[in-house]
Amino acid sequence: MPQFPPDLREILAGARRVSVLTGSGVSAESGVPTFREAQTGLWARYHPEDLATPAAFERNPGLVWEWYAWRQDMIRQAQPNPAHLALVEMERHYPSFTLITQNVDGLHERAGSQNILELHGNILRARCVQEGTIVASWQNAVGGLPQCPHCGGLLRPDVVWFGEALPQETLDLAWHVAQNCDLFFSIGTSSVVHPAASLPYLALQNQIPVVEINPHETPLTRQADYQLPGPAGVVLPALVKEVWG
């Protein structure tokens, strides 16, 4: 059972408005490889930054769809883990709780979290390249690529690729809650992908306590007020138990 700094318990118990930023480390214990690890086996020769881009899709939509189909299958078989469930429990204890996620796996929603901001979209949805329609299920054209059920056009994964703008309304809301909360968590993210990675710094600039949960150091670690080393699936349930029994 991890030991927590005594004052952290008071801060958690006394907080009213909590903002949480999660990255793929939160889904690691569900068996979903983190973004940097997602390159195993078949995909070892590619970098995510080379596949998750408009240029890659333009160049070879079949290859990009193969990668996403591989990830979708994995995610459909995955279950929310104790980290996701602890965040659902935490949300119940605070009058205001916003879960800002970089993850595209939908596991926070499946776990039961309510107030979620999906900064980078959702891999289980697709979007029509021609008309922008969002679909949750689709067929492939005969021997071809995922096809829009409305216009027959090409579908793409409904995620934000490198070089693409994040959904502005969602990002604006994330900016707002990062600066207007009384406690900010950064959990399971390498803190290198922007603009998401800048959110904890906004909290720090507003003298809001920042807690990082990650088994490894990140660029945020030295500036965070608290760094709880360990897997989110162990640390978060222990934190919830420590504060709320």
Pairing, β 139-140 against β 146-147:
antiparallel
Angle (CA) 2-4-10 rounded to 5° is 145
Among the residue ranges 2-10, 28-36, 142-150, 171-179, the one whose residues contact ligand BV8 (CB under 6 A): 28-36
Shortest distance, position 74 Cβ to ligand BV8, whole Å: 12
120 included as an active-site residue: yes
Told to check if 231 binds ligand BV8 by CB under 6 A, we report: yes
Question: What part of residues 160-219 is at the interface with ligand BV8 (CB under 6 A)?
Answer: 160-165, 188-190, 192-196, 213-216, 218
- 11 burial (CB, 10 Å; 0-12 / 13-18 / 19+) is middle
Query: Residues with Cβ < 8 Å from 222, sequence gap 6 or more?
Result: none
Name the DSSP letter for residue 34.
P
Question: What part of residues 32-61 is at the interface with ligand BV8 (CB under 6 A)?
Answer: 34-36, 49, 52
| Secondary structure (3-state) at 106 | coil
The CA distance from 226 to 8, in Å, is: 8
- Set 84, 120, 150, 176: catalytic member: 120
Dig out the tokens for 80 from the structure.
């929310």
Shortest distance, position 158 Cβ to ligand BV8, whole Å: 10
Say if residues 32 and 123 touch (Cβ distance below 8 Å): no
Of 217, 209, 213, whose CA–CA distance to 237 is shortest?
213
Count of chain residues binding ligand BV8 (CB under 6 A): 36
For ligand BV8, the binding residue among 155, 159, 181, 199 (CB under 6 A) is 159
Shortest distance, position 139 Cβ to ligand BV8, whole Å: 22
Question: What part of residues 86-145 is at the interface with ligand BV8 (CB under 6 A)?
Answer: 102, 104, 120
The CA distance from 225 to 211, in Å, is: 6
Shortest distance, position 78 Cβ to ligand BV8, whole Å: 13
Shortest distance, position 187 Cβ to ligand BV8, whole Å: 6
Radius of gyration of the chain measured on its C-alpha atoms: 19
Between 47 and 241, CB nearer to ligand BV8:
47
Can you give the binding site for ligand BV8, defined by CB under 6 A? 23-25, 28-29, 34-36, 49, 52, 102, 104, 120, 159-165, 188-190, 192-196, 213-216, 218, 231-233
Catalytic residues: 120
